Chain A
């Protein structure tokens, strides 16, 4: 449809009808699924549904002026939840800016993402604690950070020792658009020459804002790393089981010292790039319909029902989603603006006289005006950059 190479075979473990069906060449991936229990499948579905509900609520909140911007990930839930659970609990994740689904698989508080897109801070969660690093908005930059981090694991001898308590790997997320950035190519090179314990996870959602993937590449993206020495594989990005298995296998391999892999998750951004664009201006509704038929949640629901999961579970998930949405809404409305002086915090780790001087000046200035009053939530004068 959108991409000249969409007929290329890819790892798929679920048919569109939700049948578990592994071709012989994908047997090693299918094996990883056979190790899962029903509770794992239910967790996958629950999180996919949860993140979609959250995502839709966040878009609504942006439309109501409660957030400056929202970056929806609708359509990419399988790629994100599947791969997120394929990452080991102690591994480090270097996301781009749309990885809300991956974030929940590593316990990141969704409100910290809301906080950032509301314009309260620039992220601010603790990457050491969550092992989920800050969102990277300048495309491709995070891939080099991931590679440097992975080089450090090599230097520390935390790779390939056979001790699962000690060995670590990293994964970096980026989109089809970011593959055009030099930093992605440089990351492949550094990763290959240092044999880093690393997975490059490219969500090819077919569109970089309004530019189709053909603008970014003349070869299928999973082949992009080969010339640098990073082998690649394409996975059906709307198949949560395939995304889980492929990520798990290559993260395990990376941890065991087998070097980096590029995974291209072939998926689709069902919504806008962000709340500030209108995809109907640049793509056909027929294309959207094609991908709606490949909706990752519907496919996985079919699978679960075939496994005998009853309506009760889906009702429970829906109710949990409604509750989450209400909580997110309430927490967003209650979210206070940052303290004025906080912009001067952590510019440097050690004090810097210019920053100190300007902070002191602002404090004096505000006092001369009778003191600053933080905007209170619900105040009509608040403008977060969205339309009211």
Chain B
């Protein structure tokens, strides 16, 4: 009998970090307000009391400094877990992430490893002010040398954060902030699958919806609605945006012939663009309809009063389902 507990995503990430810190004293946690406060979302709550201020500490409000010093700490043999407080605050660190963190292993011909995890609460849906609701994952997935992942449920949150910390490569760990309080069963004994594997959450025969992070719940809702209409949707949680488990998605598309890719980010030059292009390559003769992308609009993330319209919901997914089935 496995050791199962019910945790929220936030608590599961906390538990995963705690375990990683217990297992390896080289794991350090830092960022803005992560120590006494436990982070603005309390994801690091309690770690200070357990590990002390040499293992978890507050950083000055300087994102480039947070990532730049994380790189230096990794060079010294630490495994830094740096928090960027909100998605829209990551851009001051963009240079350190893209020009340095992503390239140092390559530039040093393997002499330097960069086991750095950058945790980023991302996405909308919490009624926040500007710069607190963005989905910048495509910028990082585009950059060679980075790994980009996002859990969608507490069990994955618990295990994926540990796998990310164990990775010898830099990992952008995007946390679906509007789902932080979503609860679920966490198996504390059994590691599910690898960090970069996609997983089918609901099998189906008619249409595949592939998505990740905060939209996974939305896709499962759409699948329920569709079932009432006699449409059998398969839901895939992509989990990793770099690398992408194209094989898993292709296998599903070969079965259903119809694919919808969804995320909160705008669709132009996005994760869904990449998946659509790749499925055209891998599944050309199996596709019954063009791959349809469902995402936010290609506008700056709107003011909170409009975000319900901006964010794709189950109805928007159903509209796409109707479109792919019309072929």
Contact = CB atoms under 8 A, between A and B. Distances in A.
Interface in B159-182: 167-169
A187 B62 CA distance: 10
A193 B169 CA distance: 28
A351 to B, nearest CB: 9
A147 B68 contact: yes
Interface string A310-353: 00000000000000000000000000000000000111111011
Given A144-B65, A190-B65, A347 B100 contact: no
Contact of A155 (B78, B104, B168): B78
B73 interface: yes
Q: A interface, by DSSP: helix, strand, loop or mixed?
A: helix
Contact of B69 (A124, A125, A147): A147
Interface in A123-145: 123-129, 133-134, 136, 138, 141, 143-145
Interface string B260-274: 000000000000000
Contact of B105 (A129, A190, A346, A354): A346
Interface string B142-174: 001101000000000000000000011100000
A123 B68 contact: no
Contacts of A345: 106, 109-110
How many B residues touch the partner, as a band? 35 or more
B107 A144 contact: no
A186 interface: yes
B285 interface: no
Given A124-B108, A348-B147, A355-B144, A145 B243 contact: no
Contact of A122 (B75, B77, B92, B107): B107
Interface string B293-305: 0000000000000
6 interchain residue pairs of minimum CB distance = A148-B72, A144-B68, A148-B69, A152-B76, A186-B65, A349-B168
10 contacts: A126-B111, A127-B108, A143-B68, A144-B64, A153-B76, A182-B64, A183-B95, A187-B68, A346-B110, A348-B145
Interface of A: 121-129, 133-134, 136, 138, 141, 143-153, 155-156, 182-183, 186-187, 189-190, 193, 345-350, 352-355
Interface of B: 28, 54, 59-60, 62, 64-65, 67-78, 80, 92, 95-96, 99-100, 103-114, 144-145, 147, 167-169, 242-243
